[in-house]
Chains A and B, each alone.
Chain A
């Protein structure tokens, strides 16, 4: 029923409230006295070199793309799993075809080296 979502909204509000109280309270009680050196980014005691927002390894993008593909497939499996016992053999065979395609895709990525990190 829809009224079950009222407590969810309450707990949303309480979590956000607790977070806000902590951040604001800390901002009130702390005495921040910035100096030029203090404001530098930490780089093991050396003066920081350049900006941190540089280019970074493309592998992270590949992981993000693979995640998109596989997560959609996982959501598909969720719905199938919930009704698995009602669908019986037909649903099983259908999802097996889907899973074989999924595994074929994963093996292709694997062979192409998309999962390598060295």
Chain B
């Protein structure tokens, strides 16, 4: 089977875009319900349970309600920006899925179809570029409302998101170094050959997830909303569907983040300990490794979905468990902990990889396991160093120390 002809490519592209985009919308709607159900479960209450069995039609009811609600525009608002901000916020959140491979290639009578909307040679940069566009929606929404709470939420969002973008970018560099590539399908294939990157890049995964938590403005990092300080943050003045769009963007970002964690660090659609799914496609369209089949595609998709669902669960779990940071702590964590540590980590990892190559160990399972050992040591060092929280707490730590000393004495 060679590469697809242009007609087959266009038809498959339309089919993939429709299926993946619509599926994505359903997943995002489902996650809004999942969050409410899991929150209820964590707080020992029932959660939505009136619309349909176990409340599964709640997202539809919410949608109808949001369409019918009165739309409010504050008097002093910049009307156009106020109108545009939710769209700008939603757009990047929904587009990033285009470069995430969701399953093994699917064989069709017309050729092998890769189950990814667009196999861009610059997949990584596409993700980074669109992730950084998200900040515009929040900042514009906050600024356009002409309300003080919205405004503060908007500036906070901009400063926080750009700070953590640096950390997010740095935490991706180790993956580049290990994979030697910037396309997502290639990274998935490399992980099938060796080990899931979460082992050789444990520290990288820790930093990546923390930065992405901050980048999605969720969990302990929801400073732009911070309802105990800023009422509702950047969308205080928004109502009806426009407010719901900010929520959709947040949940879509969360699902994207989970999918990216699964792809970068947990092998994407790879099924562990099974060689039957190690399917690669060469540049000329010929198949490397196992034979593709429709049921393999389905199984690998189930594997990807399970990994993504797990990380969505972690996102929700963290949000309802950990109390919110103070803003100066958020910024200190970004600039004084994550960025310096990541730079040092890149240096150590590069040195370790060069040493391994000088020792003659080929890229493969042994190579990855050696890196995993180094990472474990680094992780323990960071844990025990971070645990003292000298930098994050700053002045508060120094003030608290004499008291601790006294209470011990």
A interface list, Cβ under 8 A from B: 3-8, 10-12, 14-16, 18-20, 22-23, 25-27, 29-34, 38-44, 48, 51-53, 56, 59-60, 63-64, 66-67, 70-71, 74-75, 77-78, 80-86, 88-89, 92, 95-96, 99, 102-103, 106, 110, 115-118
Contacts and interface: CB of A to CB of B under 8 A. Distances in A.
A87 to B, nearest CB: 10
Contacts, number: 228
Interface stretch (B164-172, B263-271, B298-306, B371-379): B164-172
B136 interface: no
A34 to B, nearest CB: 8
Nearest to A109: B335
Interface of B: 6, 9-10, 13-14, 16-17, 21, 25, 66-76, 83, 86-87, 90-91, 94-95, 97-98, 117-121, 124-126, 143, 145-152, 155, 158-159, 162-163, 165-166, 169-170, 172-177, 180-182, 231, 236-237, 240-242, 244-245, 327-328, 331-332, 335-336, 339-340, 343, 346-347, 350-351, 353-354, 357, 394-395
Secondary structure class of chain B's binding surface, majority of residues: helix
Given A67-B166, A74-B170, A82 B182 contact: yes
Interface SS majority for chain A: helix
A78 B98 contact: no
A89 B90 contact: no
A12 B74 contact: no
Contact of A81 (B117, B159, B174, B231): B174
B336 A4 contact: no
5 contacts: A19-B91, A42-B74, A78-B172, A78-B173, A106-B335
